Amino acid sequence: PLSIDTARFINLKVEDLGDGVWGVALNRAAKRNALDIETIEELVDFFSIAPRADVRAVVLAGAGDHFCAGLDLIEHHDEDRSPADFMHVCLRWHEAFNKMEYGGVPIIAALQGAVVGGGLELASSAHVRVMNETTYFALPEGQRGLFTGGGATIRVTDLVGKSRMIDMMLTGRVYQGDEAMDVGLAQYIVKGSSYDAALELARKAAQNLPLSNFAICSAVSHMQNMSAMDAAYAEAVVAGVVNTQPDARARLAAFADKTAARVRRND
């Protein structure tokens, strides 16, 4: 496996949290974790290495009171970019976010405060989103004279559906609390620390076999881009590999000899 040199990250705080769980936190609280070029490059870096570095799950977080304010508007203003320049910026965002969504390493996002614009694009590239009472979601691009460029047209639309996506962009609608849950922006809402809750989920996911997690956090996304026929075929092929992995035999044996936990309803 590759090793991860945590010291080389500047805008990200990268930490080994033990048992294969890693923390990746946007670390520019003073700028509300706005996504500048350097931060995106560091995300590309980390998520290029993670699948080959025995990373079994990631908690994706933001330092301070807000998860992420989206595109660094000051950098964008100062750079006064050409269309081609900004296209290439967006392509780097896609590089980072595709590596997250398709990389096969479970990513649990811990959300607090603003999850807006590109911040929502980043959050929607994670596999699980945990919010709390402070979390709010919006796409302010329309109001700023901008458009989404980091995959929101695909991933946020997947989460909330086309009509809600267009409404968010047109009117700047803010979703928070149970309503945000109901429309699909997050899968968990907790009182207090979304980080602690996300870490607990990451620790749980990290106990699965890595090859199972690879399939879950890569194949499902790939299959969405396929025809139903191709997806069914790909599913059979993936299951052929995953469901016969030698490491699964001990888990199957534990079920057979009745030592494995049974699936029960919640109390």
Query: Per rule CB under 6 A, is residue 146 in the interface with ligand 1HE?
Result: yes
CB of 70 closer than 8 Å to CB of 117: yes
- Residues 6 or more apart whose CB falls under 8 angstroms from that of 62 comprise 25, 26, 29, 33, 68, 110, 111, 112, 113, 119
Which helix (H) or strand (E) segment holds residue 157: the answer is: helix 152-160
# residues contacting ligand 1HE (CB under 6 A)? 23
For the chain, the distance separating the N- and C-terminal CA atoms, rounded to the nearest angstrom, is: 41
Under the binding rule (CB under 6 A), the answer on residue 148 touching ligand 1HE is: yes
Question: In the complex with ligand 1HE, which residue's Cβ is closer, 8 or 88?
Answer: 88
State in angstroms the smallest separation of the CB of 203 from ligand 1HE: 30
What's the closest the beta carbon of residue 50 comes to ligand 1HE, in angstroms?
22
Minimum Å distance from CB 69 to ligand 1HE?
Answer: 3
Q: Is 141 a catalytic residue?
A: yes
Write the single-letter amino acid at 178. Answer: D
Of the candidate spans 55-63, 142-150, 209-217, 233-241, the one that interacts with ligand 1HE by CB under 6 A turns out to be: 142-150
Q: Are 55 and 20 in contact (CB under 8 A)?
A: yes
Residue 187 contacts residue 128 (beta carbons within 8 Å): yes
Alpha-carbon span 220 to 235, nearest angstrom: 9
List the x/- string, 78-117, binding to ligand 1HE by CB under 6 A: ------------x--x--------------------x-xx
- Output the smallest distance, CB 41 to ligand 1HE, in A: 14
Residue 191 CB coordination number (10 Å): 8
The set of catalytic residues is: 121, 141
Q: What residues line the site for ligand 1HE (CB under 6 A)?
A: 31-32, 34, 66, 69-74, 90, 93, 114, 116-118, 140-141, 144, 146, 148-150
